Structure 1
Amino acid sequence: MKLRKFVTAGVAVCAFLSIAACSDDGDSPSTTTAASSAATSSATSGGGGGLTDSSKPPTAAQLNTMLQTALDPNVPASEKTELVQNSEKDPVIFDKLVEAAAANPDLEYEIVAPVRPAGTDQAKANVKVKFPDTPEQQVEALIVFDNGTWKLSSTTVCLLLSAANETSPMCPATS
């Protein structure tokens, strides 16, 4: 059950990062890495504001692309830290998410539109999460504009990790 909670938390986190597929599609590692890099580059570049326009929150499609990047075992954790606020303090968290996704290939999740403004430099999105033989759940995630780009908020990540009895150096100590 602990793994299920952690995966749910990870999915919600990643979903807010806009990534949408856990299963292996048969691509070779170099093709998968190139596709993820191209998708990330496309999602973060101009055209429609991208992820670098603080006045326009990312789309659900952009967030799903970010999620795919976060769960791609071929993308180094050092590149993934641009996806979650304060994650440079714990880049290993992405390795844990990749492992959890691989251990739960039947898990389905998707960030769904609309992404809604939630104040200055903040937005919210819903993530649909579905485990086999269980009802679909919706989890809300907060996105923040931080250091020139939209990222999943560390507040959301830390709350989810806490719910799964996990800790991370990116989360402030709680008493």
Structure 2
Amino acid sequence: MKLQKIATAGLAVAAVFMIGACSDNSDDGTTAQPTSTTSSSAASSDTGGTSVTDPSKPPSASTLNGLLEKALNPSVPASEKTDLVQGSDADPQLFDKLVKARQDNPDITYSLQAPVIATGNGQATVKVKVKLPNVPEQTVDAAIVYDSGKWKLAKTTVCPLLLANNVQSAMCPAAN
């Protein structure tokens, strides 16, 4: 059971990073806080943008955390989520697996931590804290990229997580 929880944490981390392009580009100044996501104590110092479509400024951790519920919403069809991860249009069913993993493991919590750091032209990194029951909190780095008009989770972050958890995906070359 513990191994399954750890494997699910990898999927949870992947899900966390898949939220970047879920924005409807409206911002009323508030951020929804989902029950399985903890808010970042550093959010007040987060200087990232509120838009996922500005190539010059990656979205803030607060913006990304606020979009998490929408990204993992089982009511949103997977076909509408394919612009969340670089290359995921090759495997839209991946999002259904992530929604199920979250539903099956509500005791796993995670939060994106400020700041989101621009690392180059159309590239940035963000830290994610993941907490599993009876396991010390873990912090994981993730890459996001600006691709096809939106910030997305980079394949270089998602594919190793999926492969490490034995999740086959057409978007990851080694899984084909």
User: Structure 1: 5+ residue runs without aligned partners?
Assistant: 20-36
Letter in 1 for 2:26: S
With structure 1 as the length reference, what TM-score do the two structures score? 0.79
Match of 1:42 in 2: 26
Q: What is the deviation of 1:134?
A: 1.2
Count of paired positions: 153
Letter in 1 for 2:63: Q
Given that 1:106 and 1:131 are in contact with CA atoms closer than 8 Å, whether structure 2 keeps it comes out as yes
Match of 1:62 in 2: 63
Paired with 1:174 and 1:95, the residues of 2 have a C-alpha distance of 18
Match of 1:75 in 2: 76
Q: What is the deviation of 1:174?
A: 6.5
Given that 1:16 and 1:64 are in contact with CA atoms closer than 8 Å, whether structure 2 keeps it comes out as no
Match of 1:123 in 2: 124
Given that 2:59 and 2:151 are in contact with CA atoms closer than 8 Å, whether structure 1 keeps it comes out as yes
Match of 2:16 in 1: 15
Q: Secondary structure at the match of 1:142?
A: strand
Letter in 1 for 2:143: L
Q: State whether structure 2 residue 2 is matched by structure 1 residue 4.
A: no
Pairing 1:83-98 to 2, within 5 Å after superposition: 83-98=84-99
Q: What is the deviation of 1:2?
A: 5.3
Match of 1:170 in 2: 171
Given that 1:17 and 1:66 are in contact with CA atoms closer than 8 Å, whether structure 2 keeps it comes out as no
Paired with 1:41 and 1:79, the residues of 2 have a C-alpha distance of 15
Match of 2:146 in 1: 145
Q: Secondary structure at the match of 1:12?
A: helix
Given that 1:59 and 1:113 are in contact with CA atoms closer than 8 Å, whether structure 2 keeps it comes out as yes
Letter in 2 for 1:57: P
Q: What is the deviation of 1:54?
A: 0.9
Aligned in 2, Cα 1:147/1:2: closer, same or farther, shift over 3 Å?
farther
Given that 1:158 and 1:171 are in contact with CA atoms closer than 8 Å, whether structure 2 keeps it comes out as yes
Superposition RMSD in Å: 2.2
Paired with 1:5 and 1:169, the residues of 2 have a C-alpha distance of 23
Q: Deviations over 1:129-150 (max 9, x none)?
A: 0011111001111000000110
Given that 1:18 and 1:61 are in contact with CA atoms closer than 8 Å, whether structure 2 keeps it comes out as no
